[in-house]
């Protein structure tokens, strides 16, 4: 499949790993928007939140529990943000479900 993040999971494109198990992969964003910026993705190809099925509910829950753990590992004790962009208006550029985890500075709200 011609999917950038599937290629990253397969190791065909190098990435800077933070965590990996049989279901998910976490790696640092190539263009960080904050001092800490990593992505957590399911290994299963799901295009976005808009493509989630009932059977993916547990996987998404497990990803969020891992996000909490990884945020601690990255010392984001003062807070952080989890973002998932969906489709064109959502600003999604890679059509493989991913959760941005941003922290290490005070983040603005609302986003642009």
Q: Which residue is nearest to Zn ion (CB)?
A: 3
Give the shortest CB-87-to-ligand 5GP separation in angstroms.
Answer: 10
108 burial class (0-12, 13-18, 19+ CB within 10 angstroms)? exposed
17 binds ligand 5GP (CB under 6 A): no
Looking at beta carbons only, is 2 or 31 nearer to ligand 5GP? 31
> Looking at residue 38, what DSSP letter applies?
E
User: Restricting to residues 29-58, which ones interact with Zn ion according to CB under 5 A?
Assistant: 45
* 96, two tokens: 């493989």
- With tokens 């800490």, the residue in question is 36
Binding site for Zn ion (CB under 5 A): 3, 5-6, 45, 96
């Amino acid at each position: 499949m011609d999917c950038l993040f599937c290629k990253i999971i397969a190791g065909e494109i190098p990435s800077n790993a933070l965590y990996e198990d049989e279901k998910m992969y976490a790696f640092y964003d190539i263009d960080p928007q904050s001092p800490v910026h990593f992505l957590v993705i399911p290994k299963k190809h799901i295009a976005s939140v808009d493509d989630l099925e009932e059977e993916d509910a547990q996987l998404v829950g497990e990803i969020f529990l891992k996000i909490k753990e990884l945020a601690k590992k990255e010392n984001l004790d003062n807070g952080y943000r989890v973002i998932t962009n969906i489709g064109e208006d959502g600003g999604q550029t890679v059509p493989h479900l991913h959760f941005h985890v941003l922290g290490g500075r005070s983040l603005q709200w609302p986003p642009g």
